[in-house]
Amino acid sequence: MKSDSLLIKPTPSFDEPVEMLKACHERIAAQCATLEKLAAHLPSHGADTQAQQAARNIMRYFDIAAPHHHADEERDLFPMLIEISQRQCSPVGERIASLLDEHRSLEASWAHLRTVLAEIAEGKTRLLEQVWVADFVGAYRGHIALEESRIFPFAEACLERQQLARLSAAMVARRTITPQ
């Protein structure tokens, strides 16, 4: 008899770019959960070692991986989907326009949160305003839900192998460190 707890979900590769974008959403959700835990931790523990490490991890993710994820979508995936949606008279293009606005809003919210997280990472006692955290986390969760319910299924249904290969190559190149 198989136990669900023994089943391990395989990690997608860049050969499956839409699956890789979904996996990034899982990591964003995990960092948002850590941010919520940190906000709850700070009032009673202050900027202790655990809080400092959590702040550094959250900053590392949202400073590096999240911008790559947004670029994957904005520079590569979304233009392909807009072109297809225009040919098919699909409303996906309009949804993408609202997602781009959400990216700007999320980035602005992140900049605000990051300032406080940087001080926590340095050991300075600061509190994360619950409303800031709730707004940021709620906005990301809603954003992810829309992409996964409307955009990614459209991509999986419409993108051809060559387009997926171009998306994959762009994602890899974005993450490849070139020596200076």
Map out the domains of the chain with their CATH numbers: 17-173 (1.20.120.520)
How does DSSP assign 158-171, residue by residue? H--HHHHHHHHHHH
* Residue 119 and residue 126 in contact, taking contact as beta carbons nearer than 8 Å: yes
pLDDT tens string 132-165:
999 999 999 999 999 999 999 999 999 999 999 9
What does pTM read for this prediction?
0.88
User: Cα(38)–Cα(126) distance, rounded to whole angstroms?
Assistant: 11
Coil, strand or helix at 120: helix
pLDDT band at 4 (very low <50, low <70, confident <90, very high): low
Is the pLDDT higher at 7 or at 150? 150
Single out the residue of 17, 34, 16, 3 nearest to residue 117, CA to CA: 34
Interior angle at CA 103, CA 47 and CA 174, nearest 5? 90
Q: What is the pLDDT of residues 63-122, one digit of tens each?
A: 999 999 999 999 999 999 999 999 999 999 999 999 999 999 999 999 999 999 999 999
